[in-house]
Chain A
Amino acid sequence: MLLEHYSHAALARILTAAMLLFLGIFQIVAPRCFWGLSMYFKGAWGLSIGARRALDVSQRERLTRVLAARELAEGDAEARMRYVGAFTIMMAAVALFPAIPYVLPYALSCLAMAASVLTSYLHFRRATARRVAPLVRRSPWQSLPPIAMAATAICALGSAAFAIYPQFRVGSAIVVISTIALVAVAWRVALAPALLLGDDAQLEYLVDEHVRYCRVMGLVAQACAPPTVLVALAWATLPSNAHFFDGVMLIVALAFVAVMVMNLNPMRKRIGLA
């Protein structure tokens, strides 16, 4: 087969470039799949599936209105996501250069996505002269559960363990730095002020909390992905007697699965719409 001529590292590089190319094209063609707010409200919120609790027509209209107003206040996020897509395609090309560790372009594209989320929040804060605040105490741990932080730390430490091998040293350093940077952005979003316009404050607050949770967990998943990929690719090249790293691989994989499960099940609260 053609692929047999390539080394593990070259295959990983080609795979990373192909994945980034696909991701970049997808971000340009369908930016709302990465950014659109309504995608956070499917299923459990009853917009399309209504598996757990369907909204009635008037509640659905309220929710649609609130989401439309918020999208407007967040600025032209579609354009921002297209820029991120173009950047991701550039990174796909960069990933093919043998001199550059292939995890670097992957980590940079994750950071670009994170920056676009942060920009949405900054844009919203400047969008209105009227500010509305809920009179309840919030904690950043509501959006960023400690278990997700622990899982991210496990992923980062797992990839750092591979630094004992010289061939993985640069890659694992890049991955750990990108993980820390992405978690820092996630923490910043978790701490961000509540963004309400005040037209339907109660629903806006529910939407804000839910969007915040989904975005923070999305960033945490992005933070966990590069170390998990690095650990999986590096582990595959190790000799079969490296039992310690079998354990590392298993623990990192479990941590990543835990984060993905938390990411796929973001509906923590039932809707209490009056």
Chain B
Amino acid sequence: MNGSFLIVDETADSPPYRQIVDQLRAAIERGELRPQMPLPPVRQLAGDLGVAPNTVARAYAELQSEGWLIGEGRRGTRIAARIPNRDRHARARSLREAVERFYALLQTRGFTQAEIVAEVMRAVVP
């Protein structure tokens, strides 16, 4: 299997619903989830992730309203044929928010700014 995986961490700051939305959107943007690819049913995904079905349903609904997913009733949910044309500002804002969340999380774990920057540089330029 070469598919993607979703990870929900109960100890993370963001709620499970937000973790699912962010990871699905990121996987679609990276091309790991191809257009028209079927997604697991709400109940299956909720069971695997140990969350309530409503949590997954809410995440799917948000991504559908944004155009990332297509709901096909009883046939389930698929990745949209065309991913939404997000404008430059939206992309930049999304990146900034992700970096801010990441930075804040590491700060709460006691890492200094210098340590975080050095580690990011090491990861980006090995």
Q: How far is the CA of A192 from the CA of B43 in the complex (A)?
A: 11
B110 within 8 A of A: no
Q: How far is the CA of A206 from the CA of B3 in the complex (A)?
A: 12
Say how far A236's CB is from chain B's closest CB, in angstroms: 46
Q: How far is the CA of A272 from the CA of B1 in the complex (A)?
A: 7
B39 within 8 A of A: yes
B6's partner among A132, A137, A274 (CB-CB below 8 A) is A132
Query: Contact between A201 and B48 (Cβ–Cβ < 8 Å)?
Result: no
Measured between beta carbons, the chain A residues less than 8 angstroms from B27 are 135
User: Which residues of B (1-24) have their CB < 8 Å from a CB of A?
Assistant: 1-11
Closest A residue to B10 by beta carbon equals A129
Query: Contact between A135 and B40 (Cβ–Cβ < 8 Å)?
Result: yes
A129-B10, A196-B5 are known contacts. Are A135 and B47 too (CB-CB below 8 A)?
Answer: no
Mask of A111-146 contacts with B, CB within 8 angstroms, 1/0: 000000000000001000111111111100000000
Measured between beta carbons, the chain A residues less than 8 angstroms from B76 are 137
Measured between beta carbons, the chain B residues less than 8 angstroms from A198 are 5, 7
B54 within 8 A of A: no
B80 within 8 A of A: no
A125-B50, A196-B5, A198-B5 are known contacts. Are A130 and B10 too (CB-CB below 8 A)?
Answer: yes
Closest A residue to B27 by beta carbon equals A135
Measured between beta carbons, the chain B residues less than 8 angstroms from A194 are 48
Query: Contact between B1 and A193 (Cβ–Cβ < 8 Å)?
Result: no
Query: Contact between B5 and A132 (Cβ–Cβ < 8 Å)?
Result: yes
Measured between beta carbons, the chain B residues less than 8 angstroms from A125 are 50
Q: How far is the CA of A131 from the CA of B5 in the complex (A)?
A: 10
Mask of B23-64 contacts with A, CB within 8 angstroms, 1/0: 000010000010000111100110111110000000000000
Name, among A136, A198, A274, the residue most crowded by chain B CB atoms within 10 Å (CB to CB): A136
A193-B47, A205-B1, A206-B1 are known contacts. Are A137 and B8 too (CB-CB below 8 A)?
Answer: no
Say how far B21's CB is from chain A's closest CB, in angstroms: 14
A48 within 8 A of B: no
Report, nearest first, the 6 A-B pairs whose CB atoms are least far apart.
Answer: A133-B48, A193-B47, A129-B10, A131-B50, A201-B5, A193-B48
21 contacts between A and B (CB under 8 A): A130-B9, A130-B10, A131-B8, A131-B50, A132-B5, A132-B7, A133-B6, A133-B48, A133-B49, A134-B3, A135-B3, A135-B33, A135-B40, A136-B40, A137-B40, A137-B44, A138-B44, A193-B44, A196-B48, A205-B1, A272-B2
